[in-house]
Structure 1
Amino acid sequence: MINFEGEIVQDQHVNLNIENRSFNYADGLFETIRVINGKIMFWEDHYFRLMASMRILRMEIPMQFSPEFLEAEILELLEANKLTQQPARVKINVYRKPGGLYQPSTREVNYTIRTYELANSFYILDEKDYEIELFKDHYLTSGLLSTLKSTNKIINVLASIYAEENAYQNCLLVNEKKNIVEALNGNLFVVKGNNIKTAPLTDGCLNGITRKKLIEIIKKTDDFTLEEASVSAFELQKADELFITNVVMGIQPITKYRKKNFSAKVAKQLLAKLNTTARLG
């Protein structure tokens, strides 16, 4: 079952309009959310990121799109799919209604919500081999639009194919200034000694919810200092640890980049704190 434009229907009964603007022009956004036993993790952060992104794309936000309304829509769908007592991933898509070419004929939006079962209630550190490489065939553009979860992810698609063809578990994306921006599916953190560094939003990295929560956690601890600054390729091989964050997996340690192998000591410490934050939040 999915929520298709406000109605819960069977997946096979959904007919997407061929004039859908997300399909034709990537005129859409998505939000990926983790739910634990009917509790939406970091819901306020997800909600305000979605609203801010819609404003940036000059979408008309429906009057009923309150936090309470969308939360109720999510919970109703989880109930319909019998996922209220287990972990789940929720994906919300918002897209401008059909009409027009590049210039839309309306700024009103439609939406869909889907749910997927997850294996674990809280984040588990995956310490399997996880090798990455840089993807330099195409560059992200630094700036505000790159920070959004828009449906224009063609660079991520091409980089995923490159990773598969070369037996890498992930790739790091680079912007036009040759700075390391993020991984295919999350934000990158670089650990060197007691300093933890991540790319600033101005470099074009995703404005990730887990990134935000981890920055808050690091700033509250005396063990580490947090730096939001551009990351160069040179820094990667000098680092003690590299790890990727997103809302579904939490923290994924990188074990190898070129000839350098990495530990996951700091990632383990931070994952424990992230799970605590998720329980409380």
Structure 2
Amino acid sequence: MNSSFTIYNQTILNEAESEAFNRRSHLYGDGLFETLRVHQGKICFWESHYFRLMSSMRILRLEIPLNWSPDDLEKEILSFKPEPQIDYRVRFSVWREGGLGYTPNTNSIDWSINFSELDDKGYSSPVKKQKLALFQEHKKSKGLLSNLKLSESILYILAAKFASEQHTDDAIILSQDNHVLETSRGNIFLLKGNELITPSLEDGALRGVMREQILKYAKDANLTSKEEKVNPFDLLKADEIWITNAITGIVSVSDYRKSSYGCLKGDEMQVILNSKCE
């Protein structure tokens, strides 16, 4: 077998040392991930995370291990024995085995779990607030892959970088036809009166776990909900704007361009989400 080596920052690495640099996740972004919140020793909304993971792996033609039942995989993730009084961010990453070459020689997987402690216990209540910008330099295409949390995340990185340069906290990502899809940090909801509006999966929005929960439990806050195309100008007419993800739950937008927004219903919905995660 031919030997190989890697030069890393002017240091020549041997074959064993080079292994981390030759993973397909590193070379091609050939994988996906789930970001989970562990609260009181339990994974919040585990069932939704699990079924999204399984669906995404099938779409990417990744081999699902036979012992990855919902219960067994949950036990594997929680094997680090979380302290009940501490909340954790967990990143569960899955990627295809193999090295160089676009054509895979296997669908077998490697995986890893990263844990980090969070400052808050439960989703912040009242909700945190942030300023929002509009990222237009690059757009997101629609299709089945656009709904997945892929390892390749350069669009989100560039949007987050743009937000920082604009001295805001987050930035809106647009579709190719200039409709609002999400932000660099999560899905987006507009509240008009008692109606919640969020971009549809068919238009390219991320299939967010927290998005799913809010659509499911909106009625508990006496809200109706629907999915439809959202124009950037629609944001200026909203009463509230929420950014949602599995770690923060809901973050309320305080300012977008020259408009300011409330967060009364956002606070109410966050309380409901915390109750569902107990």
Are 1:270 and 2:269 matched, yes or no? yes
Quote the residue 2:72 is aligned against.
69
Quote the residue 1:5 is aligned against.
none
SS in 1 for 2:157: helix
Quote the residue 1:49 is aligned against.
52
Task: Report how far residue 52 of structure 1 moved.
Answer: 0.4
Of all paired residues, the percent bearing the same amino acid is 39
Q: How does 1:118-267 map to 2 (within 5 A)?
A: 118-125=118-125, 130-221=130-221, 223-267=222-266
Task: Report how far residue 127 of structure 1 moved.
Answer: 5.5
Quote the residue 1:58 is aligned against.
61
1:125–1:85 Cα change, 3 Å: closer
Task: Report how far residue 144 of structure 1 moved.
Answer: 1.3
1:253–1:200 Cα change, 3 Å: same
SS in 2 for 1:266: helix
8 Å CA contact 2:90–2:116 kept in 1: the answer is yes
Quote the residue 1:23 is aligned against.
26
Quote the residue 2:107 is aligned against.
107
> Where does the alignment leave 5 or more consecutive residues of structure 1 unmatched?
1-13
1:69–1:102 Cα change, 3 Å: same
Task: Report how far residue 126 of structure 1 moved.
Answer: 5.8
Q: How large is the Cα RMSD of the aligned pairs? A: 1.7
Higher Rg: 2
Task: Name the aligned partner's letter for residue 258 of structure 1.
Answer: R
Aligned mates of 1:84, 1:106 — CA distance in 2 = 40
What do the CA deviations read for 1:37-96 (whole angstroms, capped 9, x no partner)? 21111111111110100000011111122222211211112x2xx645421111100000
Which region of structure 1 is more displaced relative to structure 2, 14-23 or 127-136?
14-23
Task: Name the aligned partner's letter for residue 253 of structure 2.
Answer: I
1:16–1:41 Cα change, 3 Å: farther
Task: Name the aligned partner's letter for residue 242 of structure 2.
Answer: F
SS in 1 for 2:21: coil
Aligned mates of 1:163, 1:125 — CA distance in 2 = 24
What do the CA deviations read for 1:225-277 (whole angstroms, capped 9, x no partner)? 11111111110001111010111111000001100000101101111111111
Aligned mates of 1:242, 1:144 — CA distance in 2 = 26
Quote the residue 1:37 is aligned against.
40
8 Å CA contact 1:125–1:251 kept in 2: the answer is no
8 Å CA contact 2:128–2:251 kept in 1: the answer is no
Quote the residue 2:8 is aligned against.
none
Aligned mates of 2:23, 2:185 — CA distance in 1 = 25
What do the CA deviations read for 1:148-188 (whole angstroms, capped 9, x no partner)? 01011101111111111110110010010111000111110
Task: Name the aligned partner's letter for residue 139 of structure 1.
Answer: K
Task: Name the aligned partner's letter for residue 163 of structure 1.
Answer: A
Task: Report how far residue 128 of structure 1 moved.
Answer: 5.8
1:16–1:165 Cα change, 3 Å: farther
Aligned mates of 1:249, 1:234 — CA distance in 2 = 26
8 Å CA contact 2:129–2:252 kept in 1: the answer is no
8 Å CA contact 2:127–2:266 kept in 1: the answer is no
8 Å CA contact 1:190–1:242 kept in 2: the answer is yes
SS in 1 for 2:225: strand
TM-score, normalization: structure 1?
Answer: 0.89
> Where does the alignment leave 5 or more consecutive residues of structure 2 unmatched?
1-16
Task: Report how far residue 220 of structure 1 moved.
Answer: 4.8
